[in-house]
Amino acid sequence: MRKKIRRNKTDKDGYEYNFDGLDIRDFKPVPRPPWAPKPGDVAKMLKTARITIVLDDETVKFFKNSAKENGVAYQRMIREILKNYAAQNKKAA
């Protein structure tokens, strides 16, 4: 059974969607296209390394606030900044 999704105007980002009355059983899974990698394969392609790093509270607060303002995860922001720094300062081998 299809139910209409009501849209309510908000001040923040334009629209707020109201899903009252919708049932998860109304939704059908979308098959993965043959050209799309499997979720596990994507994680393998990234070739990341887990590390532990100690940062001062002010630095963490700065990244959390900045990430929140830009709508991204703060750990991803730190990772991208370090990645860009490394790429710019890589010495020719």
Domain boundaries, the chain: 6-88
Model pTM greater than 0.95? no
Paired with 6 in beta bridges are 18
- Which residue has better confidence, 44 or 56? 56
Q: What is the mean pLDDT of residues 51-62?
A: 94
> CA dihedral in degrees (47, 50, 56, 62; nearest 10)?
40
Q: What is the pLDDT of residue 72?
A: 86
Secondary-structure class of domain 6-88 per CATH: mainly alpha
Query: Could you read off the pLDDT of 14-52 as tens digits, one per residue?
Result: 666 666 677 767 777 777 778 777 766 766 666 788 899
93 confidence band (pLDDT: 50, 70, 90): very low
